[in-house]
Structure 1
Amino acid sequence: MPQQKIIYLDNNATTPVDDRVLNTMLPYFTDFYANSTGTHLAGLTVKEAVENAAWQTADLINADADEIIFTSGATEGINLAIKGLANQDRKHIVTIQTEHKAVLETCRFMQSIGFEVTYLPTASDGLLDIQLLKEITTDKTLVFIGMFSNNETGVMQNISEISKILKTRNVLFMCDATQAVGKIPIDVKALGIDFLAMSAHKFYGPKGVGALYISAKAKIKLSPQILGGGQQRKLRSGTLNVPGIIGLGKAAEIALKEQQEDQKRIEVLRNKLEKGLLQFKGSFVNGNTENRIYNTSNICFPSVNSEQMILALGNISVSNGASCSAVTSKPSHVLKAMGLSDEDALSSIRFSLGRFTTSKEIDIAVERVLSLAKEFATKTQRH
């Protein structure tokens, strides 16, 4: 019996590497393998390619190349931006309860070294109360950390309004844009963002590489978290992952050209998927449906265990956004912060579409999910 083709609807977890990205990377494993810090011709050739990738990455968010630090991904960038501020006089950090664990755990570390951290709640639709941000930030607040688009629900915060408030109080703005970069136009200058983290593998680049944008205007000297040879202006030592950086640059170049075209097509498919799945009695979308990224739909199927559903779907890849182990499942901290009960949180599934999703795949997914949801719900009612 032939193996069924994977229908991949988990693009917020990671995306496949675009063939154009892979083909651009390959020579840097075989032909152009010199260290980018080498002063010989081979090294200078690679250095030039890395500098070009920095420009490609910067162009995607309207930054300058010298404002880009290459990292192993968004998690490292987040750690560098937050921990790197430990030497500042202000000791108050503000963030949101629905942030990614990379932010929340790093903030907890900052608390352990003497910082005060305020974790702001959201409304039931996942949006931050802007008035609350106004009230909580003071002249002792160092930085606000806010996600551009939530990884589980796709909800997009009002970045522009948040930035205006922060600037009136001289508070730095660190934005985790992992789920937004490469999908929608981002202008860090216009938005007044001081630090922005991204990962290549979220927009069809390779895993293990990302970037941190550090605004030259912020005039803040971050403390490096990785010490050594002093690469990247002494902010992030270590031999550069050249093939990965080349891949990030190419992925950024493609995204800049194609993200609007991708949005039009993917949004239609997402809406088609959502309309079909909401036929299940009692189902509902988690999060604000107006202010969200176009590829994401997080749907609760009451009385249906999401973990069982994911296993039963087999070749259809989706996510429940929960922290799971072999013994127990915990409800998503994001959905809990939005006010969902444990039962509803554990009955919620995230569908995240991508560049290579097809209409036929959506048809198959809707049919399979609805069939299984009805089956599981019937079994639950019997018990």
Structure 2
Amino acid sequence: MTDGRELYLDYQATTPCDPAVVAAMMPWFAESFGNPHSADHALGRRAWDAGEQARAEVGALLGADAREIVFTSGATEVNNIAIKGAVRHLAARGDARRRVTTVATEHKCVLESVRDLAAEGFDPVVLPVAPDGRLDPGTLRAALAVPTLLVSIMAANNETGVLHDMAALAPIVRAAGALLHSDVAQAAGKVALDVRAMDLDLASVSAHKLYGPKGVGALYVRRRPRVRLAPLFSGGGQERGLRSGTLPTPLLVGFGAACRIARTVRVEEARRMAALRDGFLERMEEGVPGIVVNGSMAHRLPANLNLRFPDVRALDVIAHAPELCVSTGSACSSAELVPSYVLTAMGLRAEDAARSLRLAVGRYTSAADMDRAAAILCRAVADARRAERGAAARAAHDDTARTAECRI
């Protein structure tokens, strides 16, 4: 029996807006509604100032100067601008290099951006990861023996929560003379980030992954030494010509508020989430012997688990736990009836990947929630096993009956 309430543990797919974020946004929808690019009147200037304050807040979260932040519609657009914009600009300036390198476990918008460049004569290279989900520095070094324009390595994986060793990888990229881009959407607000200390040229972040609104993201573009990009589309030349379009002031204000809150609560929040996650894992290991965590446990976001069941499919478990909001992979891939490409890239067989699910605790998850989640999942595993045994028994009975009919 359950109390029927939905229990959300899919915080890597998206997060709810923090109430303080919603409160900050509300006046900018109907009261201070001016176009931030209308500098000739007070409402426009007020909206512009609010956007610039938000830009400073995003920069502060990333360790960047406000002038290095470019607003977009989200991380998917950012990743496209960063990767395609950088290599197209270099090629247009006569750079003879054609290799663009990324990692097999990247978000699809990174993988597809890199692969799309093949049609323009570039050489996409997708590097394998170790079984723990991390990129080996030796693998990267070998790939960069061929002159390379850009390398894209995410800070934290969106399915496994695994953290790449950027401190070891960035110097290899720098020594090879390539640009380094990192999708930090999953890491921002959850672990310490400093784009300068990480020696990044470009970085992508999304508001809705850190308790801000959907529909807005930001690109960090290094100023010194300056990184230049070709814009993806034409328009009014907003955002220093890199991303045309009227800035959505309410979303920017919400983004800025979310970043400000994240800087305030990140350390304590990470400690609390890790404790909730680790306690939940202990209960699951007791209730479902043989359960395994996919990916490095030592190098992982504090809120994330990617669990593999010993003998039942994750989709069957989820079907027996309708009150639990978890997923089998990234949100953009969860409707696909194929194993997670992230897990298969880590060396898991298709059937092992199919027995894996992702969950992540968040700002509004309580200890009682995790007790309830463990009970629900353990019960769902038992129910899925019974259903599977029943289906196998029925199939065996049907086979026996058909064999008997053939003998008559």
Q: Does 1:158 align with 2:165?
A: yes
The alpha-carbon deviation at position 281 of structure 1 amounts to 2.3
Corresponding residue for residue 194 of structure 1: 201
Q: Any idea what SS the aligned residue of 1:189 has?
A: coil
Instruction: Find the structure with the greater CA-based Rg.
Output: 2
With 145-154 and 217-226 compared, the bigger mean Cα shift is at 217-226
Q: Is the Cα–Cα contact under 8 Å of residues 148 and 180 in structure 1 kept in the other structure?
A: yes
The alpha-carbon deviation at position 381 of structure 1 amounts to 4.6
| Residue deviations 1:292-351 (CA, integer Å, cap 9, x gap) | 1100000001221212222321121001006354xx610000000011111111110111
Q: In 2, Cα distance between the equivalents of 1:210 and 1:87?
A: 22
The alpha-carbon deviation at position 377 of structure 1 amounts to 2.4
Q: In 1, Cα distance between the equivalents of 2:315 and 2:225?
A: 44
With 209-218 and 307-316 compared, the bigger mean Cα shift is at 307-316
The alpha-carbon deviation at position 215 of structure 1 amounts to 0.6
Corresponding residue for residue 19 of structure 1: 19
The alpha-carbon deviation at position 151 of structure 1 amounts to 0.7
Amino acid at match of 2:227: I
Q: Any idea what SS the aligned residue of 2:219 has?
A: strand
TM-score, scaled relative to structure 2:
0.91
The alpha-carbon deviation at position 185 of structure 1 amounts to 1.4
Amino acid at match of 1:350: R
Q: Is the Cα–Cα contact under 8 Å of residues 324 and 330 in structure 1 kept in the other structure?
A: no
Q: Does 1:289 align with 2:297?
A: yes
Corresponding residue for residue 87 of structure 1: 89
Q: Is the Cα–Cα contact under 8 Å of residues 57 and 257 in structure 2 kept in the other structure?
A: yes
Amino acid at match of 1:9: L
Q: Any idea what SS the aligned residue of 2:307 has?
A: strand
| Residue deviations 1:90-144 (CA, integer Å, cap 9, x gap) | 2111111011101111111011211111111111110111011111113620111
Q: In 1, Cα distance between the equivalents of 2:323 and 2:382?
A: 19
The alpha-carbon deviation at position 14 of structure 1 amounts to 0.2
Amino acid at match of 1:60: L
Q: Does 1:183 align with 2:184?
A: no
Amino acid at match of 2:78: G
CA RMSD of aligned residues (A): 1.5
Q: In 2, Cα distance between the equivalents of 1:171 and 1:254?
A: 34
With 110-119 and 72-81 compared, the bigger mean Cα shift is at 110-119
Q: Is the Cα–Cα contact under 8 Å of residues 303 and 376 in structure 1 kept in the other structure?
A: no
Q: Any idea what SS the aligned residue of 2:240 has?
A: coil
Q: Any idea what SS the aligned residue of 1:217 has?
A: coil
Q: Any idea what SS the aligned residue of 2:124 has?
A: strand
Q: Aligned pair count?
A: 380
Q: Is the Cα–Cα contact under 8 Å of residues 172 and 218 in structure 1 kept in the other structure?
A: no
Alignment match of 2:270 (pick from 256, 259, 263): 263
The alpha-carbon deviation at position 278 of structure 1 amounts to 1.9
| Residue deviations 1:200-252 (CA, integer Å, cap 9, x gap) | 00000000001010111242320001210000101000011111111000000
Corresponding residue for residue 406 of structure 2: none
Unaligned runs of 5+ in 2: 393-408
With 7-16 and 218-227 compared, the bigger mean Cα shift is at 218-227
Q: In 1, Cα distance between the equivalents of 2:3 and 2:283?
A: 26
Q: In 2, Cα distance between the equivalents of 1:309 and 1:37?
A: 51
Q: Any idea what SS the aligned residue of 1:28 has?
A: helix
Report matched runs for 1:42-61 at 5 Å.
42-61=43-62
The alpha-carbon deviation at position 32 of structure 1 amounts to 0.8
Report matched runs for 1:127-146 at 5 Å.
127-138=134-145, 140-146=147-153
Q: In 1, Cα distance between the equivalents of 2:300 and 2:225?
A: 28
Corresponding residue for residue 8 of structure 1: 8
The alpha-carbon deviation at position 3 of structure 1 amounts to 8.0
Corresponding residue for residue 353 of structure 2: 345
Amino acid at match of 1:263: A
The alpha-carbon deviation at position 160 of structure 1 amounts to 1.1
Taking only the aligned residue pairs, the percentage that are identical comes to 38
Q: Does 1:374 align with 2:382?
A: yes
Q: Any idea what SS the aligned residue of 2:299 has?
A: coil
Corresponding residue for residue 401 of structure 2: none
With 314-323 and 30-39 compared, the bigger mean Cα shift is at 314-323
The alpha-carbon deviation at position 256 of structure 1 amounts to 0.5
Q: Any idea what SS the aligned residue of 1:223 has?
A: coil
Q: Does 1:273 align with 2:277?
A: no
Unaligned runs of 5+ in 1: none
Q: In 2, Cα distance between the equivalents of 1:361 and 1:50?
A: 37
Corresponding residue for residue 318 of structure 1: 326
